Amino acid sequence: MATPSPGTPSDEGQAVLLLRLAGPLQSWGDRSAFNRRDTRPEPTKSGIVGLLAAAEGRARGEPIADLTDLRLGVRVDQPGRLLRDYHTVSDYRGGPLPQAGVSAKGVQKLTSPPKFTHVTTRFYLEDAVFVAGLAGPRDLLERLDSAVRRPAFPLALGRRSCVPTQPLSLGLRDGSLETVLANEPWQVPERAQRRGRRRVDLSAVLDVQESGNDRDADDDSKAREDLVYDVPSTFDPRARSFTSRRVQHTWLSVPTMATGSGTDTEPDVDSGHDPFALLGW
């Protein structure tokens, strides 16, 4: 991908809102099958749109087209570790659990033979850090920035139990989505940057720009495009549906906040023992 120069001006009236998505646990599911709840390796558009809608206090049936129209890019600053949670479900009254099928009256049937416990498997990302950029009209993004800082409803990283750490909003930036994500410093803890590297290469997933694309014509990025079904049409629980979007997988060279004397290609050498080296921290 051809990265625009840092000085490239943004379109008039346009901006990029940066969100730092970090916390002990995150879970960004885009599908649920039987008793299994998976998570994608990076935040979904439906999850981020839901977070913004909650911050503004929108009801589930309210329109969200202005949010889904924002162009999204997600940078993986720290992929985290996959956690598998063994989870059971039972009726506190001691009765048998219902099954998926319903009767002619629309009432769920009981399991036959009776089943009193369901085992479910749920997956989370531990200690992951992402930087999400949303590009669109400046006035809308300014409103969303204020809402995220003073949310109307509690915010979550995919599931209600996954609480974000602060800061959540990094503010608004000028420039294209690619440029802003490439210029924002690495958002991992300082201990992960203490080796003195000035830049680090991070993977990113961005909505494919349909027009006004600043990629080179001979770029091979189309070979790295994918189709994902995570764009919500509505959050109304009685009429939930999703559409698809085209995303591009790429790499960005990102500055760090290191203060050592290392270079881009040769990090500083620690004189002492680093007990976290084997963990990749």
pLDDT of residue 280: 54
Report the pLDDT value the prediction gives residue 265, as an integer from 0 to 100: 42
Predicted local confidence at residue 33, as pLDDT: 65
Residue 127's pLDDT band (boundaries 50, 70, 90)?
very high
Query: pLDDT (tens digit, 9 = 90+) per residue, 169-202?
Result: 999 999 999 999 999 999 987 776 766 678 889 9
The CATH class given to the 14-80+127-279 domain equals alpha beta
d(CA 185, CA 202): 11
CA separation for the pair 181, 19 (Å, rounded) = 11
Name the pTM for this structure.
Answer: 0.78
What pLDDT sits at residue 83? 92
Quote the CA–CA distance of 246 and 250 in Å, as a whole number.
Answer: 13
pLDDT of 231-269, one tens digit each?
999 998 888 888 999 999 999 999 987 654 444 444 433
Give the closest residue to 133 by CA, choosing from 34, 204, 191. 204
pLDDT category of residue 116 using cuts at 50, 70 and 90:
confident
User: How does 14-39 read in b/e, with b if 16+ C-beta sit within 10 Å?
Assistant: bbbbbbbbbbbbbbbbbeeeeeebeb
Residue 278, pLDDT score: 55
Structure tokens belonging to residue 31: 């599908």
Mean pLDDT of the chain: 83
pLDDT higher at 269 or 117: 117
The confidence score (pLDDT) of residue 262 equals 44
Mean pLDDT of 215-242: 75
In this prediction, residue 152 carries a pLDDT of 96
